[in-house]
Structure 1
Amino acid sequence: MLQQFGFTQYESQVYQSLITVDHPLDATGIVKLSGVPRSKVYEVLHRLSEKGMILETTIEKKRLYTALPIESTIKKLKADFENNLEQLKKAPIKKAPSDDRVWTLKDNQSIQSLLKELLQKAEHSIFLSGWADDLLQYLPILEEKYDAGIHINIHVIGELSTKIPSVSTLIPDEQHANLERSRIMIVDDQEMLFAGIEEANWQAIRTQSRPLVKFFTEFFYHDVALTEITQKYRDTIMKDKNIRDVLLNLRY
């Protein structure tokens, strides 16, 4: 009867023997009705008493037992279950250890799906770099995360209309013909994904490796810095062939 609620078989048998009679029983009577060995019955009765499942009394030096009424038992079990749920909710959760392996992934659709999944999991910060027409599909997630108070930084090549304020924009011209398409994403300063095109096919790496996460975070700021420098000093840079050639060989 009670085993499905976490009680032992003997505890269930003793409770059932007491609930099915209309008078108290002593240990001998419980042994006869429940089938629990005499050597175990007092131990079982003690556990049931500690759990509040039986009532006890002593009459003329004789110890008698009766079961907690069934309606009271139902309310008690329900209250215990709900209390256990609350305790479970409050239990500290151990974070999974960081996976510092570098994983590779091919196929553009798979890369896009994984990137969206990682964006959805972001809790504190997102750094995202890419081309405007590519980043457009992630904009609803990014703006939803921004509304939720998550820090968003975007570096985009091309025009991208968004309410997110932290956007660095590079408008490419013929001088940037060699710019390669790529994506960089860093989530919560803990995980990064870098995707690029190799032999006309998208390929990506994903990792939680601290050195690589730090490197690509700095790489993101490198792109932002190059964009700001190019925009502010465009006329000077483009007139100086040596500076222009060096700068345009760098990836944004």
Structure 2
Amino acid sequence: MLQQFGFTQYESQVYQSLVTSEQPLDATGVVKGSGVPRAKVYEVLHRLAEKGMILESTVEKKRLYSALPVESAIEKLKADFEANVQQLREAKRKQTITDDRVWTLKDNQSIQSLMKGLLEKAEQSVILSGWSDDLSSYLPLLENKYNDGIDVKIHVIGELFTVIPDVSTLLPDTQHGTLERSRILIIDQREMLFAGIEDTVWQAIRTQSKPLVKFFTEFFYHDVALTEITRKYKDIVMEDKAVREVLLNLRY
């Protein structure tokens, strides 16, 4: 009965004898009902009690045993299973080795596929920067992550229509001639991908290196800050030639 849940054969036999009995049993009754040798029965009863599968009581100096009801046992086993699964997840996280090497990748389709794969793995946060026509293909996945409670922050060049509230939008000025196509993706503050165009070909780097993840995170917020300052004080900064030239030469 219980062997498929990780219990021994003797434990299963003793539990079955108790759960099918109409009244509590002493050790002698358990031996008769389960077929477990008397020399083993006390050890088995002790293990089942430690596992919370049986109840114990002493009546007139006689030790009696009763099974945890089947429905209660089922709930307990389900809870134990979920707890074990969670421990396994935690163990996996603890054993994950950070790969601080920097990996390079070419080909736009490969880069986009890798970005989607990284987005699907996000469990806590997503930071994403790019151009609106580039990012639109990721919107369904991004909005699903947002609806799942994951923190999603986006900096976009051009208009992007989405239910995600934390979006910083830069509408390029006609003088923004130096703006370059690029993408930044940072997942769970532990892994990042940066892609840009070099000699008309998309190229990317990917790493879990903490200094680089931190650098590109700060770079993202640098872009957000400049975008918001430019948007709010555009008339002022654009009138100042020196400030305007600096802003228009920034990558964003």
TM-score by length of 2: 0.66
Equivalence for 1:228: 228
Alpha-carbon distance in structure 2 between the residues aligned to 1:132 and 1:184: 13
SS at match of 1:100: coil
Matches within 5 A, 1:37-76: none
SS at match of 1:251: coil
Equivalence for 2:179: 179
Equivalence for 2:133: 133
> Per-residue deviation at 1:163?
0.6
SS at match of 2:204: strand
> Per-residue deviation at 1:234?
1.1
Matches within 5 A, 1:163-242: 163-242=163-242
Distance 1:239 1:100, change over 3 A: same
Alpha-carbon distance in structure 2 between the residues aligned to 1:218 and 1:168: 15
SS at match of 2:180: coil
> Per-residue deviation at 1:175?
1.1
Equivalence for 1:89: 85
> Per-residue deviation at 1:83?
11
Alpha-carbon distance in structure 2 between the residues aligned to 1:102 and 1:124: 23
Matched, 1:244 2:250: no
Q: How many pairs were matched up?
A: 194
Equivalence for 2:146: 146
> Per-residue deviation at 1:199?
0.4
CA distances 1:52-105 after superposition (whole Å, capped 9, x unpaired): 9xxxxxxxxxxxxxxxxxxxxxxxxxx9xx999667525434321111111100
Distance 1:86 1:215, change over 3 A: closer
CA distances 1:182-208 after superposition (whole Å, capped 9, x unpaired): 000111111110000000000000011
Gaps of 5+ in 2: 1-5, 7-38, 46-73
Alpha-carbon distance in structure 1 between the residues aligned to 2:246 and 2:87: 56
Letter aligned with residue 89 of structure 1? V
Alpha-carbon distance in structure 2 between the residues aligned to 1:181 and 1:84: 51
CA distances 1:151-193 after superposition (whole Å, capped 9, x unpaired): 1110000000001100000001211121000000111111110
Q: Show structure 1 runs of 4+ deviating over 6 A.
A: 82-87
Alpha-carbon distance in structure 2 between the residues aligned to 1:228 and 1:84: 50
Alpha-carbon distance in structure 2 between the residues aligned to 1:218 and 1:197: 21
TM-score by length of 1: 0.66
Alpha-carbon distance in structure 1 between the residues aligned to 2:99 and 2:205: 13
Equivalence for 2:60: none
CA distances 1:30-60 after superposition (whole Å, capped 9, x unpaired): xxxxxxxxxxxxxxxx99xx889xxxxxxxx
Alpha-carbon distance in structure 1 between the residues aligned to 2:116 and 2:226: 27
Q: Is the 8 A contact 2:177 2:248 kept in 1?
A: no
Alpha-carbon distance in structure 1 between the residues aligned to 2:126 and 2:81: 34
CA RMSD of aligned residues (A): 3.1
Alpha-carbon distance in structure 1 between the residues aligned to 2:82 and 2:158: 50
SS at match of 2:99: coil
Matched, 1:114 2:114: yes
